[in-house]
Amino acid sequence: MPAFVWLADTELRYRSVLGSHFLAGGDEGFALVGRSAVDFPGDGDPDHPFVRACRRAVLGEAAECDFPFRGRLYRACLEPQLDESEGFVTGFLGVAYDVTDRQRVAELLSNEVRFDALTGLPNRLVFAERLANALDRAERLGETFGVLLVDLDRFKAVNEALGHNIGDLFLQTVSERIRHCIGESALFARFGGDQFVVLTPTDADGVSAADLARTIVDQFTRPIVVNAREIFATVSVGLTIAPDDGLDANRVIGNAGTALHDAKDLGGNGFRRYDSRRRDHASDRFAIETDLRRTVGVDDGSSADLAREGFVLHYQPIVSTIDERIVGAEALIRWNHPLRKLVPPDAFIPLAEQTGLILKIGEWVFRTALLQLRAWDNAGIRVERLAINISGRQFHHSNLVETVERLLTETGVDADRIELELTETVVMRDVEATIVTLTRLKALGVHLSIDDFGTGYSSLAYLKRFPIDTLKIDRSFTRDASNGSADAAIVGTIVALGHSLHKRVVAEGVETRGQIDFLRGIDCDELQGFYFSRPLPVSEFAAFFRNPMRGIVAPAGRIRRRVRHLPGQRLPLD
């Protein structure tokens, strides 16, 4: 409902007003007609936004403006009134709405997106904007700035020992303490978890930023008191100076991360400045680890929806050697990282292993793959057997069998259609315990296979005792297997060995017709590789299943090489 509606002439004088008590402050006897918009609600200021909007309306332009009046916010819409016959402006019609509450809600909403609820600090989003801005200024105006990544040294221990409530209070206190030593011109934001970030202007050689880093570290010589409890905490800080160390947002964050990693390696409670002589590799690795921790989080037992964080499974068909019919598929994880694009599993599975995050990831993979199998069943795509990779830490974790059992029940998938892939190195570690776990898994009805077979050191004696169904020959052997090389002999031996132990043998990494012919000649049971198909996203897998055009869905490199040899033709691919 409008607060007031009015008609005014070209001199901005009110000709008639509905809701005049609103402008007159409830004084019914107050006559508004004949008075000027400059006074109500222009507060007598000819340059008031309301008055300016009225003027625009008089000039024949539709105008809108927001203006404060008596503690509330209004939005006025003004329309010029035209003389019917002559067409010139005779005045204007105005409507004003009270938008105070709407505005407040909008602000609240935008605050929620931009500020961290726990500490009230700006969040990563704000930091990212400011960083982009600072980089832009650095490039245009030659300004120098420092980015400090601040990380609590033993936050996990505090959280675990004292509980999440105290953990939260502790983080609030820590953020307060850091905030005190940061100047007005710097941005202090929560980066996520127990990490904070500071973006500060600095002198060209970065000395003042380094001083700030030292000051922050020094804040933690005194204990932090939370609920009358003294907690001794220290922080580590990684510092990088832009533009010296790079002029790209990813690089700046990665470098600060590398420096932080170094500070931690030195025992924490200190700061390190990024050393530009370090290889990029390390910073990449650290950046991935940092992101992994942030997205997957600590292993608190909750099964986060990792799909939302960009994790996806791709599926690679496995075919029977005899007729090249699809007999199964292997689920392979990828991480669709917002900045780094598709991160392959080799780049993050080892890190996830080290940090324990693999347990959460592994459970998600398992559940997602089982649900996918169900979905395919419902869509008439019968994938007989689905292979799922299990990492070492998952396998040697006490809960594996229960988790597998629970997820099978939860999803209603027949255990007989699932095959767990374990690498040789994993099963050969602690053999007696392995046998117990394998036997329990087997009792659930799932199939078991040894992945990357040939790369580890399998003992034949143990191999006989393991209740394993399948050996998957590592692709490094398949690669050169067709040319009568030593690898061909190895592959032949593995197949013969597998068959003598009554195991199915699958060759990985099949890329050429020659390899297929060779593998068929030695009776290898099943094949998997780019020749048939790369690992495919769900949508493409369904299409491939329905119409497997073997050899067409080949690796880009191979197609490119082949095409390049066509004579006399320039190709867009080149």
Among 452, 487, 525, 526, binds ligand C2E (CB under 6 A): 452
**How big is the site for Mg ion, counted in residues (CB under 5 A)?**
5
Six token digits for residue 46:
């000819």
515 binds, among ligand C2E, Mg ion, none (CB under 5 to 8 A by kind): none
391 binds, among ligand C2E, Mg ion, none (CB under 5 to 8 A by kind): ligand C2E
Nearest CA to 162 out of 231, 97, 261 is that of: 231
Which residues 505-524 are close enough to bind Mg ion by CB under 5 A? Answer: 508
**How big is the site for ligand C2E, counted in residues (CB under 6 A)?**
24
Smallest gap from Cβ 477 to ligand C2E, in A, equals 12
Question: Tell me, what DSSP letter sits at residue 373?
Answer: H
Among 195, 389, 449, 482, binds ligand C2E (CB under 6 A): 389
Among 345, 350, 492, 548, binds ligand C2E (CB under 6 A): 345
> How far from the centroid of its chain's Cα atoms is residue 261's Cα?
20
Neighbours of 104 (CB within 10 A): 11
Query: What is the spatial distance between Cα 272 and Cα 418, in angstroms, rounded to a whole number?
Result: 48
Mode of pairing for the β-strands spanning 235-242 and 526-527 = unpaired
When CB distances to ligand C2E are compared, the closest residue is 529
Which residues 403-422 are close enough to bind ligand C2E by CB under 6 A? Answer: 421
Q: Write the binding mask 378 to 417 for Mg ion: x where contact by CB under 5 A, - elsewhere.
A: -----------x----------------------------
Contact criterion met (CB below 8 Å) for 23 and 41: yes
Nearest CA to 263 out of 150, 147, 350 is that of: 150
Judged by beta carbon, residue 20 or residue 389, the one nearer ligand C2E is 389
User: CA of 62: how far to CAs of 10, 56, 355, in Å?
Assistant: 14, 7, 61
Smallest gap from Cβ 561 to ligand C2E, in A, equals 14
Query: What is the spatial distance between Cα 409 and Cα 432, in angstroms, rounded to a whole number?
Result: 28
271 binds, among ligand C2E, Mg ion, none (CB under 5 to 8 A by kind): none
Q: Write the binding mask 471 to 500 for ligand C2E: x where contact by CB under 6 A, - elsewhere.
A: ----x-------------------------
Q: Write the binding mask 466 to 505 for Mg ion: x where contact by CB under 5 A, - elsewhere.
A: ----------------------------------------
Is residue 368 a contact residue for ligand C2E (CB under 6 A)?
no
Which residues 173-212 are close enough to bind ligand C2E by CB under 6 A? Answer: none
Runs of H (alpha helix) within 200-268: 207-218, 249-265
User: CA of 133: how far to CAs of 122, 163, 242, 273, 287, in Å?
Assistant: 15, 39, 12, 22, 21
Is residue 365 a contact residue for ligand C2E (CB under 6 A)?
yes
DSSP 469-519: -EEEE-HHHHHTGGGTSHHHHHHHHHHHHHHHTT-EEEE----SHHHHHHH
Six token digits for residue 68:
């404060």
Among 153, 289, 452, 525, binds Mg ion (CB under 5 A): 452
Q: What residues line the site for ligand C2E (CB under 6 A)? A: 316, 332-333, 344-346, 349, 362, 365, 389-391, 421, 451-452, 475, 508-511, 528-530, 535
